[in-house]
Structure formats: C-alpha cells, structure tokens
Structure 1
Amino acid sequence: MTLKFVAKEIQFLKTAGDAPDFSPPEVYYSDLLIQPSKEFEVFSRRMADTCASQKMFTTAAIQIDPAAPEKTLDNANEIFHACFHSVLDEDRGIWECLDPFTAIFVFWDYKTASQGKKLLDLLNEKISQALNAKLIMGTIAFPFHDFPVEEMAGCALKALDHAAFFGPGHTVEFDALSLNISGDRLFQFNHIDAAITEYEKGLSIAPANINLLNSLGVAFGIDACLDKAMEFFEKARNINPEEAMVIHNIGLIHRINDKNDSALAYLKKAHGINPDVFEIELLLGHLLFKEKKFAMAMAHLDAAIRLKPESGTAFRIKGQILLDREDAPGAAVQFNQAVKLNPNDPEALSGYARAMALQKKNLTIALSFAKKSLALDPKNEQYKQYLEEIQNIHDQIEGTHQDRAIKSA
C-alpha cells in the first residue's frame, strides 16, 4: 500500500471517534504567523521592544462575536481604546487592532499572577459591556514553561483559535490543546514539519496527552517515517490500551508494512472498542477482501457505507468482491455508485467497465470507462489488460452484428 493511498482513501485517524463535535472557527488567527498582516507585525515589534525586560506580563487576543450588529463593529476601535486605557495607562501595556472586530494586547506591572488575572477579567468585562456583545478571548501569561518572549503574541492567537471552537463568551488560557489545534491547522496546509514542531511543543507541556502523541504519530506516518510513527502510537497505547484511534493507526502501519495478519488483529480490536468509526470499518473491509474473506468484508463495508455514504471507496470494494464472486450485475450496481461519487476513481471505472463487458452490455460505455481508467493511471498493467479484453469483446460483438447485417441484406 502506498502512502498516497493511505493519505487519500484509508487514512490515519487524527482524533478520537467520540471526541466532542465543536465547530472550527471560520478564521484562524494563528495563520498570521505564516502570513503576517501589517497590524500584527507592528504589534509584534512593539511587544518585543517593551516586554524584553519584563519578568511578568499577560498577552491576550480578543474577538467580538462575529454575529454582532454592524454598528457594534463600527465602534469597536474606539471602545477598545477607551476600555484599555480605563484599566491600564500608557506605561503598563500596549494594544493593536488586527481587524475591525479583533484586537491583541499585552500588559505588565502587576506583582502576582492572580493580580494579572484580575486585570484581564476586568478588561474583558469592560469591553464586553461597552460593546454589549460577547467576546472570544485567548490568553497567555509570561513566563510560560520555557517559551520565549517573542512567541507570546503567537501563543495568544493560538489560544484565540482554541477558544473560537467553543464560541462567543469563552476564554481559553493557552495550553497543550492550543498547540494540537495549531498543529492540525498546519497539517491541513501540508506543513508537516511545522505541525510536528507544534505537537512536540505540546508534548513538552503535557507529555501524556494521547491526542498529541497520536497526532505526532500521524504526522510522521504521512511523512513516511513509519518507525517514528509507530513509536508515538505505542506510547499512546501504553497510556490507554483501549483508545480505538491509536489501535487503528497501529494496524494501518502494519498494513503499510504488508503485515496483514497483525493489521487485522489490531483492526478487529479497534472495531470491538468502537464499531462506529468509518476508517476502521473501511480498512477492515479492505483487508478482509484482500484475504478473500468476502462475507466478513461485506459486513464491514456495509457499516462503512452507513457511516459515510458519500465515500465511493466502500462501494468500489464491494464491486470488486462481487466480480470475484462472478456476480457481474451486482458488481455493476456497486461500481456505478462508486463512479457517481468519484468519477475519477480508476479502479471503480475499470471494474465497472469489466462488469458491463462480462454481461456484454453497454460495451461502448464500458470501452470509454476502461480507456479513462488507463488515462488516469497509464502505468497500470492490469488496466491495460482489461482494456484489451473489453476491446476484443466489443469488436467481436460489432463484427457479429455486421455479419448479420450483410446476410440479411
């Protein structure tokens, strides 16, 4: 199995199947660390200059409820300014608007962490009341572990993204989960090395966090470092031997390494822990199909379809099973659905072409599908063989029709 196949069809599991279903934010402010805006660059420079000598300070990013009336947004800048300076004078902090409804600020000159927290709560309350709108806030207090001063602004943005999952009215203090979310965002953009760095920072805060260990394993797996991936999956399994996503990922590594017996054992255990995870059911169906255990494979593929009917992969594998069972009409039905869901799946196109050709039906369509499958994967010898077979059947049928036409003329 290639890593491309793993990444696009049978995937590593990134989060637990029973993880809370929070809505991700529409805007990730941590993206400003990749492509900084002018406003964020200005604030970062000012913060570096003013906070370098401070032993304690607090950084926070706040966002007005995106659903707030337009009038509220129009007044936001003035209210940020008024509220900030009603709590802190010019010598105790700085702030900057990042956009019409988001600001970032830092303040210092307090003696204890609890005093800093009270100032932050007071500022949050004043801004919220003045705007008559709920706020989303991400915060971090320095010192924090061994994180340097220059990372504090970025950490506040990551905490803001974290808080946005919970919606308006929530404040989140930067933690390991903030780094997991940030790493996942980088992972989405295929910045795998940067994602790995975020997950590693998260583990420096929470060494036993299963989601971070699993995320790091997934990142190494996608980066083709399978031994490193297995190392972190095993660490996660040692913490919780009953975590289905981790068991699935260990099974997938065994599948990639062509250790199908081991892969099946892990996947069956993952299924026993949680039978309602699409990736587990799909991979089990795929492995059992390869082992020619068709009845068992069908049960898991049907479960995968129930869990994710918009995926064509399970339909395609069912079609392949039915072809092996010499049920061409049944196979055609499954391949038809697979092609509808993914018109550029070469295996489904080739299988559908074979199913039609075996029935000697729709041979012109079968031929076009066989040609398309080969065009999508020109080096596939099996697709070439199937195309030749279908072409021969097509030519024989056409030749027979022509002979009959000549005789009847």
Structure 2
Amino acid sequence: MMLKFIAKEIQFLKITGDAPDLKPPDVYYSDLLTQPSKEFEIFARRIADTCAAQKAFTTAAIQIDPAAPEDVIDKANEVFHNCFHSVLDEDRGIWECLDPFTAIFGFWDYQTPEQGKKLLDLLNKKISQALNVELIMGTIAYPFHDFPVEEMAGCALKALDHAAFFSPGHAVEFDGLTLNISGDRLFQLKNIDAAITEYEKGLSIAPTDINLLNSLGVAFGVDGYLDKAMEFFEKARNINPEEVMVIHNIALIHRINGNNDSAIAYLKKAHGINPDIFEIELLMGHLLSKEKKFDAAITHLESAIRLKPESGTAFRIKGQIFIEKKDAPGAAAQFNQAIKLNPNDPEALAGYARAMALQKKNLAIALSFAKKSLDLDPENKRYKQFLEEIQNIQAQIEEKNQDSTIKSA
C-alpha cells in the first residue's frame, strides 16, 4: 500500500537529466495522435499513402514562436507555402498547416540522408529568414529502426514536443529521449499502458538509457507491478550506481513492501550522493520516525522543510514526533504550521486537535478540527476516537465547572 497521507509527495521520481531548467511546452502536439485535428488527419493519411512506396523520406514539424508579433503569424501560412515550393515541389513532397504558427512537411526524392538533411536545412533557413524569426523543429527520417511508414507523422510531432523544451532555433531528430518525453506526457494524462508502450519503444532504440529504464520502472510501479518496476530500477542502477532518483525509487519499492530497513539503507546512500532532494529527505524523515529514531528523523524533516517550505507534510510528521515525545505544545506548533499550508489535511487537523486536548486548552477549536478531520475521512477510526476523547474531556471540564458553581452557591 502507498502511504495514505503523504502519497502525493512520497512517490516515484523521474530523472530530470542534465538540464533541470528546461521547461515543458504549453501545448503537446503529440496529443493530436489521440485527439487528431482535421489538418493532422489529412496529412497523416497523405504521408502514409504517398510515401508507402518510397525507400526514404523525411518528415518535419516546424513551429514559429506562438508569441511572435501578430503580423508574423498572419503571414506564416503564405511563407510556409512559398518556401516549400521554392525548395521542393508537389512531386517531391507534401505539407499541411496544423495551426497558424505550425506546419508539418514530408519530402522525398533525394539520393542520400545527407542530401535529405541539406534540403531540410534549406527549408528551415528560408522560412526563418522570410519571417525573421527562429524556429523549433522536430524531424524523423525514414527508414527508422522498424518503425512503420504510418507512424512517421506522429513521430515528427513527438520530436517537435522534444524540441519545444529548448529555446527557439533548436532542432531535434527523433530518438529515444523523444519517446521518453512522449511517454511522460501519456503518463501525465494517466494513460499508463500507452506510456509503458512508449518507454518500451524507446528502449528498443536505446536499451541502456537510464531515463527510459527509470521511467518504465515508475510506470510499472504506479500500475502496481512492483516486481517489474524493481527489475527496471535495478537495470538502471547497474548502469549508473550513483543515480539518486533510481536509488530513491528502489527504496520506495522496499517501503511499499514493508522492508523499512532496506528502504532506509538505500535512502542513506541517496542522501550521501545528494542531500538536497526534498522527496528523499521527506521519506527518510518519515521512515526514521516510524523506527522511533526521532532526532535523526527531525534532522531530515528540517532539511525537507528547507528544500520545500511550502509543503506542510514535513511539519505534520514533526508534529507526530512531538506527540510521541509527549511534547504537546511543540506538536501543536508543528500541526498549526501544517494546517496553514494545507487547511484540508485531515491528519494535521486531527493531530492539532489532539495536541490541544492533551493540554486541555482551546477545546472548542480542538473539537472543530477533530470534526473536520472526520468529515474529510469518515472511515478513519483514529479520528473518531480523537473526537470522542475531546468530547469526553470537554464534558468532564463542564461537569467540574458545574460542581464548582454549585459549591460556591
């Protein structure tokens, strides 16, 4: 079982690679493969029909910056048309506009791959000069491994998504990383089976790619196939024993399987390689707290807070530690901070209510928080128990006050 109240932050991690500052595109053109536009359907059908008999051809998706001046976007279609016909002709290629700033091209009738690249470079250069903007471009040349003709248009869109991670002026040839990005997009859309297929295709191209091995392990892990997930994490670790994300994911598999000692051992290794990863520090703090190693747990939780101060989870776990240490005021302060960051965290609400009840203060607030935690998670027996305890404490205090009043009278 995943950890119920920290599953959103303690989860499998993807490898970011050497350029963590790269940002994903706002629009993924590969989404057209599952929700095709009329324009893409027309091009995909034409490229499949026209190129089926070709021994070699190139498909390229080209985009100008959507933030370009309006007059540039207005003339993009005309420029795409003119540049295509100045480099090629109807007997050597086809093209289609996908939207006002994006077009997809297919062309053939060249002798060598180098000649094909020269034609592509010339087309790219002419469009860029005519519009006075830099382009991003994704390309794929057929034949490519054992990929069928029918997939070339979609592969060009995936390569365009890959190129969009970089600045304008960047071109990407379809490769294993392209499929990792495509798989990640499907994973993001919760289409896990399709993501697995993409990662597997990527590994058929680049069988030792750690990103793909890790991504496939994550997908299998999320799908509940923990043995398969571990198989791919271990393959990735054998290639690079120092990849902290892979080590963390192995630790998480051990945690899910209830092997906390093994999980902690892997996390210690990951921490030794890089002590500045929030998820590693948070999981380490959580597991050490479960082992009653409170001082060590707090050290890692404070690191997690330093790395991600907007997260309430580490504050909540610290609150639970203070409860265990019978420090109700300290616990209340931590739970209070957790609730400020996430007012609908039932565990923090219940913990704060209990911390106040242990001090026999602010019982009206404690009762309100306890009720809210139970409303958020009605099946939680602990929350129901906390609510009943607070109600009993409040009843005892009221009864004591009534007795005092009677005696005074």
Measure the CA separation in 2 of the matches of 1:5 and 1:399: 37
Change (3 A) 1:220 1:7: farther
> Normalization by structure 2: what TM-score?
0.97
Kindly state the Cα deviation for residue 3 of structure 1 after the two structures are TM-superposed: 6.5
What amino acid is the match of 2:115?
A: Q
1:371 Cα deviation after fit:
1.4
- Preserved contact between residue 55 and residue 143 of structure 2 (Cα < 8 Å): yes
Structural RMSD (CA): 1.4
* Change in 2 beyond 3 A, CA 1:18/1:62: closer
In structure 1, the residue matched to 2:304 is 304
**Structure 2 residue aligned with 1:51:** 51
2:56 touches 2:141 (CA, 8 Å); kept in 1?
A: yes
2:285 is matched with 285
State whether structure 2 residue 237 is matched by structure 1 residue 207: no
Mapped contact 2:320–2:331 kept (Cα < 8 A): yes
CA distance in 2, matches of 1:361, 1:96: 71
Deviations 1:287-338 (A, max 9, x none): 0000000000000000001111111111100000011111111111111111
String of CA shifts for 1:138-184, please: whole Å, max 9, x gaps.
Answer: 00000001111111111101110110101211000011111111111
In the TM superposition, 1:242-257 aligns within 5 A as: 242-257=242-257
Q: CA-to-partner distance for each residue in 1:232-286, whole Å, 9 max, x for gaps?
A: 0000011011111111111110000001111111010010011011110000000
Indicate conservation of the 8 Å contact 1:254/1:260, yes or no: yes
Cα shift at 1:24? 1.1
Secondary structure, aligned partner of 1:288 = helix
Partner of 1:70: 70
Count of aligned pairs between the two proteins: 409
Equivalent residue number for residue 295 of structure 2 = 295
CA shift for structure 1 position 222: 0.4
CA-CA distance at 1:37 after TM superposition: 0.9
Alignment correspondent of 1:79: 79
Letter aligned with residue 92 of structure 1? R
Q: Percent identity?
A: 82
User: Structure 1 CA distance, aligned partners of 2:348 and 2:6?
Assistant: 17
Q: Which residue in the other structure is 1:110 paired with?
A: 110
Partner of 2:321: 321
Return 5+ residue gaps in structure 2 as ranges.
none
1:287 and 1:16 map into 2 onto residues whose CA distance is: 25
Shift of the alpha carbon at 1:369?
A: 1.2
Q: Identify if the C-alpha distance between structure 1 residues 3 and 51 changes in structure 2 by more than 3 Å, giving closer, same or farther.
A: farther
Q: State the Cα distance separating 1:210 from its structure 2 match.
A: 0.5
Q: Spell out the pairing of 1:91-102 with structure 2 (5 A cutoff).
A: 91-102=91-102
Distance 1:132 1:311 in 2: 45
- Which blocks of at least 5 consecutive residues in structure 1 are unaligned? none
Question: How many angstroms apart in 2 are the aligned matches of 1:111 and 1:63?
Answer: 27
User: Are 1:140 and 1:173, in contact at CA under 8 Å, matched by a contact in 2?
Assistant: yes
Aligned pair in 2 of structure 1 residues 209, 115: CA closer, same or farther (>3 Å)?
A: same
Cα distance between partner residues in 1 of 2:347 and 2:100? 50
Instruction: Answer yes or no: is the 8 Å Cα contact 1:62–1:138 preserved in 2.
Output: yes
Quote the residue 2:378 is aligned against: 378
Quote the residue 1:229 is aligned against.
229
Structure 1: distance between partners of 2:38 and 2:335: 52
